[in-house]
Amino acid sequence: MEQTTIQFTIADRAYRLVVKPEERNTFEEAVRHIEFQMKRYAENFAFQDKQDLLAMVALQYVSESLALKKAEQQQQSENFLTEKLLLIEKTLDEAL
């Protein structure tokens, strides 16, 4: 399996990461999002410390991720119930 090393900077710190070539763009986009959100928090709130900015960005993205996961689980439950109700309806139609 081919892998590549990418270098990036977040909060004035340099990092190196080994990723699959097809993941490179995703990681680079993630870095841009993090830096953008940090800048936004620094401009709009009283945060100046990089660690505080990173914590707020992490909190934002994790809460969004959890909300999406919860919505996905709810959709799966609804789909499951819909399938069961359709099966019950079909069974009742056949019995009548």
Sequence-distant (6+) residues with CB within 8 A of 35 are 10
H/E stretch holding 8: strand 4-10
Please give the Cα distance from 70 to 78 (Å, whole number): 12
Q: What is the pLDDT of residues 59-80, one digit of tens each?
A: 999 999 999 999 999 999 999 9
Q: What is the pLDDT of residues 11-61, one digit of tens each?
A: 999 999 999 999 999 999 999 999 999 999 999 988 778 999 999 999 999
- Claim: this prediction has a pTM higher than 0.85: no
